[in-house]
Amino acid sequence: MQSIDALCDALEEFEGGVIVISHDAQLLSRLCADEERSEVWLVEGGRVDKYPGDFEDYRSSLAKEIVAELDESAAAEAAAREAAEERARTTLDLRGLTI
């Protein structure tokens, strides 16, 4: 995108310090490519912490975290579905009993 490229070009030429807050991965990837000149800070849960790697490390870590959460959610859904099916089988078995 031209506006991102123009902003990045201008910031790369700037001699001073800049704090950039963005959700745009293209912008952050480009601005944080030089580890000597950039730091990644995360704002989460009311805290601000320096991330111990570069932006691409953070993106990779975040992607792994999301996949793990999705896997965990899918496993929980499968367990709940299995428990519901077991309850249904038990209910059907009890209906066949004569007391």
Place of tokens 């209910």: 91
Q: How confident is the model at residue 6 (pLDDT cuts 50, 70, 90)?
A: very high
Residue 45 is predicted with a pLDDT of: 93
Q: Residues 35-54: what's their mean pLDDT? A: 89
Dist CA 99 CA 89 (whole Å): 19
What's 32's DSSP letter?
T
Does residue 83 sit within a domain?
A: yes
Total tally of structural domains belonging to the chain:
2
Question: What percent of the chain is modeled with pLDDT above 90?
Answer: 26
Does the structure show a pLDDT above 60 at 99? no
In this structure, the answer to whether residues 62 and 97 fall within a common structural domain is yes
Residue 97 is predicted with a pLDDT of: 63
Question: Which residue segment(s) compose the domain that 15 sits in?
Answer: 1-38
Does residue 48 sit within a domain?
A: no
Cβ(48)–Cβ(42) below 8 Å: yes
Does the structure show a pLDDT above 60 at 62? yes
